[in-house]
Amino acid sequence: MPGNKRLTKKTIKGKEGLHPGSRKAAQLTRVHLRTDKLKSQNKARKEHAEAKLHRPLFFLHSLSSPHPLTMDSLKALITEVYITRNDARINELIAERRPGRPKQNELLVLEEFRRKERHEYETGMEVPDLTHGPTVKLMYTWLETDTTINHSHVDVLRQIRVSPTGETLVTKPGHTEEMGLIVEEGKVGDDWSSLAGQAAGDMAVEISA
């Protein structure tokens, strides 16, 4: 139907020198608004996609062996390393701030980011299941082979929701159980509860927020 024809900048003829109150000027304004909206939506989708990859990448680079962690170790990795990864930069910005001056935008963003992640962990934070042998085995293989990780890789991983005191829930089973990965029984990965203090600073340099 003619009324459903999609207007674009190219389909509006004679758009140069339009009278501000004309029908064509109104059409062109609508096109500009729609273009700006699409750009905003595309930017939001891109930022969401990047954020979705950041967390798995952080936990990927935390691995030093193909062996799974204990749940206590995974919780320590979350609270003492992941959530605190920007603390050094936050403290640096606080120290640089002159009396009476407003907080820098970077400081505001990092503090809000940390606040949200602390709240998320209290209610349940979704992370790759580093207590699951096949998941850790696959992730460590990617690390050793310097595989470029994208969303299709993340979808393969088993994901769990972890909180300080609540029950740990499997949120996405993934597909690592079906891949026939050989896992060495009885071996465990790093004890992050004892390594956290040193590791937090090291990993903050390697992976920025």
Q: Does residue 42 carry a pLDDT above 70?
A: no
pTM value is: 0.71
pLDDT, mean over the chain = 82
Residues in the chain: 209
CATH number of the structural domain 2-206: 1.20.1440.170
Mean pLDDT of 58-84: 95
Cβ-based neighbours of 14, under 8 Å, separated by 6 or more: 24
Compute the half-sphere exposure of residue 135: CA atoms within 13 Å on the CB side of its CA: 23
Which structure tokens are listed for 106?
């970077």
Which structure tokens are listed for 108?
């505001």
The alpha-carbon radius of gyration of the chain (Å, integer) is 24
pLDDT band per the 50, 70, 90 thresholds, residue 9: very low
Which structure tokens are listed for 66?
């193909």
Maximum C-alpha span of the chain: 78
d(CA 55, CA 171): 15
Mean pLDDT of 67-92: 95
Angle at 132 between CA 130 and CA 134, to 5 degrees: 110
The 3-state DSSP class for residue 26 equals: helix
Lowest mean pLDDT among 16-25, 40-49, 198-207: 198-207
Number of helices and strands in the chain (H, E): 7, 3
Q: In 87-150, which ranges are continuous DSSP H helix?
A: 87-96, 105-123, 133-144
Q: What is each CA distance from 199 to 30, 64, 130, 207, in whole angstroms? A: 52, 12, 17, 12
